[in-house]
Chain A
Amino acid sequence: MAELVAEQKPLRSDAAFRVLVVDDDPDMTAFLASLLRKQGIEVETAGDGNAALARVAESPPDLVLLDVMMPGPSGFEICKKLKSGHATALMPIVLVTALEDKESRVKGIEAGADDFLSKPVNPPELLARVQTLRRLHETRRELDSRRQLAQLQRKEAIRKAFSRYISPRLADRIIQDVGVEGGPFNAGAQRSNVVVVFVELRGFADLIERNDAADVVAMLNERFAALTEAAYHYDGTVLNMTGDSMLVGFNVPFLQSDAASRALSTAQEMVGRLRSLASRGERNFGALPSLAVGICMGEAVIGNVGSPHYLNYTAIGEPVDTAAQLARLAGANEVLACGRVHEAVRGLLPAGTLAPRAGAALQGRPGAIQVFTVRV
């Protein structure tokens, strides 16, 4: 068959709506393209089914005008293929068929075509059909972008809310798990090995008695902010913050194989940060508050505790109780750790990081437990 010459025209690049015209007859392609371009529509053309598929893969159009009888894959095959593809299923396809060819229309419907256009093509009909599908497509795109925006805003709100309790990195991971069955925040309470850091800020009760409450609260908040930053630095989860104490967990809600090391580093950084706050020459309210830290590891119950109106993702159990008692036992700016923490980091940290201290008898616990002082 002699090659017919295709009419060439430059493509518009400023139009938002793009139509792919697929026809093996260059005169028909030129005719359809000319009509559409005059409406400000960007047009690309393909001379057969394989070229059409390549064009779609390269840059998916907003609509496809598809001839049925072509060399290579027919219009039906192309239509079926596009409609079964995840990325192209919603792409509107208009099959261009002979007016009297009822059989083709039935096959077109079966292949998933959105509309039909008869040959010979009637220009007003072509433009009306394209405009209808364009409006539909634009409405669908608008709804899709609104849905995506709403989803993004919702995720951002969740991330912000979570970021008050955990490090932003952990918050991102939790958001990825939203809707995933068995995800840490969807699962019920469970027993888990955790490392907890119990922090006690001392001296605020006295300060409150002698100073303006607002000044003291501002000072307290500044310290809690510094402590939280230290916790987040090592991907800790703030499980509780009450009055002048704070509980940070590791290996929760996600596994951290080096949880004990992270807990020790966090405590050291907490002491360091509070010391630098004190040395910054801030207004002295009569006394400088100090810090006491207890670290312990073991099995605890992890879950959302509270009422339907107020939930707290926290840890309950022996390691939490021991860490709290160690914090009470600790001197000013001292960090104490239980023997299990010492076991977990043995050989991993520089010698002298933990030094044995006299065993301590804790409330509700038979006998004395091993206690170590953490170098700060």
Chain B
Amino acid sequence: MSKDSYTVTVPKDLADLIPTFMSNRKKELETLRSALKALDLEQLRQLGHRMKGVGNSYGFEKVSLLGKQIEDGARSGDRLALEACIADYDDYLARVSVVYG
């Protein structure tokens, strides 16, 4: 994936919320990892559901997409798919940049 595909345009109105939002996503990534390690599928499903709802509301389409995949993976108990999603999320958060428009 190119770096450009991880650029997110956020309405200026929401600028003051973004630092907290990004910080919470990083905490969320850690929680996802812990839940996967414990194979807590219910927690993974809830986290995925929450990501699905909040990501796109802020303009982070990829967060919503990964959230849906994590929710589906938790429902089906597909550990490999969950691992892949979480790794993808880690990569995304490391590389995403925000512009305000």
Using CB atoms and an 8 Å cutoff, list the residues of chain A in contact with chain B: 1-7, 24-28, 30-31, 34-35, 38, 69, 96, 98, 119-121, 123
Which chain A residue has the least Cβ–Cβ distance from B19? A7
Q: In the complex, A282 Cα to B60 Cα: how many Å?
A: 92
A71 to chain B, nearest CB (A): 9
State how many residues of chain B have any CB contact under 8 Å with chain A: 26
A101 to chain B, nearest CB (A): 10
For the complex, would chain B's binding face be called helix, strand, loop or mixed by DSSP majority? helix
Please name all residues of chain B whose beta carbon is closer than 8 Å to the beta carbon of A38 when the two chains form the complex: 13
Please name all residues of chain A whose beta carbon is closer than 8 Å to the beta carbon of B43 when the two chains form the complex: 1
With A1-B43, A1-B47, A34-B13: A27-B20 Cβ-Cβ less than 8 Å: yes
Number of A-B contacts (CB under 8 A): 70
Please name all residues of chain A whose beta carbon is closer than 8 Å to the beta carbon of B7 when the two chains form the complex: none
Q: In the complex, A120 Cα to B64 Cα: how many Å?
A: 8
Would you give 26 A-B contacts (Cβ < 8 Å), ordered by A? A1-B31, A1-B43, A1-B46, A1-B47, A2-B27, A2-B28, A4-B24, A5-B27, A6-B20, A7-B20, A25-B50, A26-B24, A27-B24, A27-B54, A31-B54, A31-B57, A31-B58, A34-B14, A34-B17, A38-B13, A69-B49, A96-B53, A98-B49, A119-B57, A120-B52, A120-B64
Task: Please tell me if B97 contacts chain A, counting CB pairs below 8 Å.
Answer: no
Task: Please tell me if B23 contacts chain A, counting CB pairs below 8 Å.
Answer: yes
Q: What 6 A-B pairs are tightest by C-beta distance, nearest first?
A: A120-B56, A119-B53, A4-B24, A120-B57, A121-B57, A2-B27
- Interface contact B53-A25, CB-CB below 8 Å: yes
> 8 Å CB contacts to A: which residues of B15-43?
16-17, 20-21, 23-24, 27-28, 30-31, 43
Q: In the complex, A27 Cα to B52 Cα: how many Å?
A: 12
Which chain A residue has the least Cβ–Cβ distance from B58? A31
Q: In the complex, A14 Cα to B58 Cα: how many Å?
A: 28
- Interface contact B31-A27, CB-CB below 8 Å: no
Please name all residues of chain B whose beta carbon is closer than 8 Å to the beta carbon of A7 when the two chains form the complex: 16-17, 20
Known: A96-B53, A120-B54; 13 extra A-B contacts, CB below 8 A, are A2-B28, A2-B31, A7-B20, A27-B54, A28-B53, A28-B54, A98-B49, A119-B53, A120-B52, A120-B57, A120-B64, A121-B53, A123-B11
Please name all residues of chain B whose beta carbon is closer than 8 Å to the beta carbon of A121 when the two chains form the complex: 53, 57
Which chain A residue has the least Cβ–Cβ distance from B24? A4
With A1-B47, A2-B30, A5-B23: A30-B17 Cβ-Cβ less than 8 Å: yes
Task: Please tell me if B55 contacts chain A, counting CB pairs below 8 Å.
Answer: yes
Which chain B residue has the least Cβ–Cβ distance from A5? B20
A240 to chain B, nearest CB (A): 75
Please name all residues of chain A whose beta carbon is closer than 8 Å to the beta carbon of B46 when the two chains form the complex: 1, 69
Which chain A residue has the least Cβ–Cβ distance from B51? A25
Q: In the complex, A190 Cα to B47 Cα: how many Å?
A: 74
Which chain B residue has the least Cβ–Cβ distance from A29? B54
B63 to chain A, nearest CB (A): 9
